Each structure stands twice: as structure tokens, then as C-alpha cells.
Homo-oligomer: A and B are copies of this chain.
Amino acid sequence: MRLVVIGGVAAGTKAASRARRVNPDLEITIYQEESETSISECGLPYFLSGVVGRRDRLIARTPEAFAEQGIEARTRHRVESIDPDAKELTVKDLATGETFGDAYDRLIIATGARAILPGIEGSDLEGVFALRFLTDADAILEHVRERSPKKAVVVGGGYIGLEVAESLTLLGMEVSLVEAADQLAGAYGPEVAEIIEEHLREKGVDCLFTGDAVEAFLGDEEGRVRAARFGGREIEAQVVVAGIGVRPEVALAEAAGARIGATGAIWTDKRLETSLSDVWSAGDCAETTNLVTGEPGWFPLGDTANQMGRIAGTNAASENGVPLEFPGVLGTGVFKVFDLGVARTGLSKQDAEEAGFEVVTAAVEARSKAGYYPGVRPVFLKLIADGETGRLLGAETAGGSADKLVDVCATAIWGRLAYPDLVNLDLAYAPPFGPALSPVIQAASVLSNEFDRRKQGVRASE
């Protein structure tokens, strides 16, 4: 039996490795468009800044390493079409330009996501970049070496934009962060957005809220970017990086007749099988379920891609046996901007209201360690709960220990815990690791008071 995997990072490589483990007799080929496999794309901002000095550290496994595992990984190869009835592919060797045919018994589509480019005037100027692939980081670094830019514009205040703003600052540039909305980090509430903005300003990043998209990038005579323009204003920049988001790469699957889901990503069932027979999909190109709402969800995140790859690889490789099911995700994420950790899971207040929940929230300004312990830092935590059942629906946090608090909240949502559970939750305490009562417990206690008040209100009005 022959398994072909389209895509050689995160979901694709995890699926291939898992398939090998499950079925030692399987013939496995990975087609990967880039010239490397198993690239940690989440590490790109740190390679860009020089925090991670060696480029090869970002590559978890080379084609040679896959070969040792009995997996053929063909880089610089693009699958151009899928014939799902004949179970055949056409593949282009990007090095030679030649096209050839291949066949599969089972196929996994892990084509990932692609950076959204601002489709505006001047996007093709030298010095205007997105940061999605390792080759993008290479190109930015090459440009930096050649032109020694003093000023940079980063377009987009989501986590990629924020990480890149840090990277470019660490490279010695004066950075302006340009955001079309009226707050940074749109997936978060205003409190976290303000904490981020304050931290950025402390670090010397200028945050500009345009109220609208950038209008154009302006170039010099030699076709090199010199400024970004919006609202009649020009911001000088010798380098521009756009981090305005990503979009699932579905063209190949769509052309083959695979169903595309409501989110715009490839539709999959619980087993991560697509609408095409013997074709699975995993990672940033695939749709899954939002575990809190039960609705279709699309969450292009590295850890989720790995988890989906594990399921798709197991199921595609099994000739019999009970298929594994992927339950869905909460959209848990964390990022760092300079010294600030920022994280979220589940639904934001706005998400929850849009999903029809009656929402109760509670927020605390807490601390990352005992108040007297050296290195203690502030941390903000907001819990979002269902007003009817008291169940935790989401959480967002910024500051010291944000990564820990969000993982506790994500696990609590997974376990469908409500505020009375959270108040009594038995978490670990010692002064170097947190306050006597975890910020999660503190916030749950505020939530509990809030629910008490509501009950009294109801009683009073009866």
C-alpha cells in the first residue's frame, strides 16, 4: 500500500512518521515544495532576530533522516493536481521543471496556509515581505545585510506582526507597527490589547492605528521601498513586513473536488477524512471543530497541526482497526512580545456572545509568584463563563506565567469545568512559582461572587 503526503512540515511530517509507526510495510512519499522539510515555522521570528543563531536548528528532520525511517521526502516538488478517481497525481520537480505522474492508495493533504499579502500598490517593491516560510526569513535577512535599514514598518498587529516587530527592534531598527483596527491583537479583549500596547511603547515600538488599511508602499528610483502611506501620512521604512494573517491553502484540494468547509478550509470528518475517498487532510489547510461551540473551526496553529497529523497518519495507515477521532480544538495559543507573554483559549467575550451565550466575565490583576519572591511580575487574567451553567468558555491572559494559566484554563474547558470547580481546583503552590492561590482560582473566586450577585438579583426581583 502506498501513502502519499502532500506537505513536508508539521502535519505532513507528523502524519508520515505516525503512519510508518502504525504500518511498517507502507510505502510513504512526502512531496514538499520548499527545499527543506520539518521546518519550525513558529521559530522564524527568533531566527530573524538572531535569538536563534543557527538556521539549521529550525529544521527538525532532513530528507536523509526521513530516508532512514523508510520515508521518501522529495523537496522542491509541487503536486499540481489530484485525480481522486484514478488515485493519481501530477507532480512538478521545481529544480528541473519536469512534470511526472504518481499514484497513491491513500493520500494526506497537508498543504498548510499561506500568508495574506496586502494587495496594494507597491507590494512588489524590493524590501516588502511577508514572513511565512524559512525562505522569507532568508530574504529579509539578506535585505537587512545589504541595505542596513534604519526604519521598518510592520503591517498588522496580530501575533505574527507583534513577534516580527520585536525581531526587527532587536536587529536595531526603529519599528512602526501599523494596525488597521483600533486595537492590537484583535483576538483579545481591550484589556490585553492595552497591556501589549504599553509594553511595545516601553520597548520603543511606535504603534499606529490607521483606522483603515495601508494605502500604498512607496519606492525610490531603484524600486526599493522607502515608505508606507495611509490616511495621507507617510511612514519612512527601508523594510516592510506584512503580518496580516494567513489563509488555508486549498486550491489543489478544491480543484480535485474536495468539499471546502464553512471556514474556507478543507472540510474533514472526525477522522480527518475529506469528502474524497481515501484522502485525509490535517494541519493549517484543514477545517476542524471548535470544541466550545461545536461549530466548524479553523485554527492554523503548529501544535494543532501536529495533533491532527497524528490522527490523519494513523487512520490513513491502518488497514483495519478502529479509526482515531480528532475531537476538535479550543484555539489555545500563546505568543511572546519582548518580555510579555500573551495567551488565550476558547471563546473571547465577543465570540461567546456571537455564539449565543449569555456571558459572565471576571478579571484579576494578579502575580506570577508570591508577592515577596524575587522576579515576581504582574499578570492579567480574564475568564469568560456561560451565565447559565457557570461553565468556563474561554480565558485570556498577559504577563508573567501567562503560558501556565492558559494551559490550566484550556484543560479546564476541555474537562467542562464550571466556576465552583475552578475555585476549589487543586493547583500547585510554592512561593517561586505563584501566589498562594493561583490567578485562575482568584479569577474564579471573582466569577463566583459575580454569580452570587446575579442570583441575589434574581431573588430580589422575584
Residues of A within 8 A of B (CB): 10, 40, 42-43, 46, 51-52, 54, 57-58, 60, 291, 301-304, 306-307, 310-311, 326-327, 329-336, 341, 343, 345, 370-374, 403-404, 406-408, 410-412, 414-417, 421, 423-434, 436-438, 441, 445
Contact = CB atoms under 8 A, between A and B. Distances in A.
A410 B427 contact: yes
7 contacts: A51-B373, A52-B372, A334-B433, A407-B438, A408-B408, A410-B427, A414-B425
A40 B436 contact: yes
List of 6 A-B pairs having minimum Cβ-Cβ separation, nearest first: A415-B415, A57-B372, A334-B428, A303-B429, A411-B411, A403-B433
B415 A414 contact: yes
Contact of A373 (B52, B54, B326): B52
* Number of copies of chain A assembled together: 2
Contacts of A416: 415
A336 to B, nearest CB: 5
A60 B10 CA distance: 48
Given A372-B57, A438-B407, A430 B330 contact: no
Contact of A430 (B336, B407, B436): B336
A414 B416 CA distance: 10
Nearest to A291: B426
A370 B43 contact: yes
Of the candidates A307, A430, A441, the one having the most CB atoms from chain B within 10 angstroms of its own CB is A430
A59 to B, nearest CB: 9
Contacts of A334: 428-430, 433
A113 to B, nearest CB: 16
Of the candidates A46, A330, A372, the one having the most CB atoms from chain B within 10 angstroms of its own CB is A372
A310 B345 contact: no
A379 to B, nearest CB: 13
Given A46-B373, A403-B404, A411 B433 contact: no
A87 B54 CA distance: 73
Contacts of A437: 303, 306-307
A343 B51 contact: no
A426 B336 contact: no
Nearest to A331: B426
A310 B406 CA distance: 24
A51 B336 CA distance: 28
Nearest to A60: B371
B430 A335 contact: yes
A44 B407 CA distance: 29
B333 A424 contact: no
A394 to B, nearest CB: 12
A422 to B, nearest CB: 9
Contact of A441 (B54, B307, B421): B307
Contacts of A430: 42, 333-336, 403
Contacts of A432: 46, 336, 341
Contact of A414 (B307, B407, B421, B428): B421
B42 A326 contact: no
A429 B301 contact: yes
A327 B424 contact: yes
A373 B431 contact: no
Given A310-B423, A414-B425, A51 B404 contact: no
Nearest to A311: B424
Of the candidates A345, A414, A428, A437, the one having the most CB atoms from chain B within 10 angstroms of its own CB is A428
Given A52-B373, A310-B423, A428 B407 contact: yes
A370 B429 contact: no
Given A291-B426, A343-B428, A436 B303 contact: yes
Nearest to A46: B431
Contacts of A51: 373-374
Contacts of A429: 42, 301-303, 333-334
Given A43-B370, A46-B372, 13 more contacts: A43-B372, A46-B432, A51-B373, A302-B429, A303-B436, A303-B438, A310-B445, A333-B430, A403-B430, A406-B428, A411-B415, A414-B421, A415-B417
A301 B429 CA distance: 8
B423 A307 contact: yes
B436 A410 contact: no
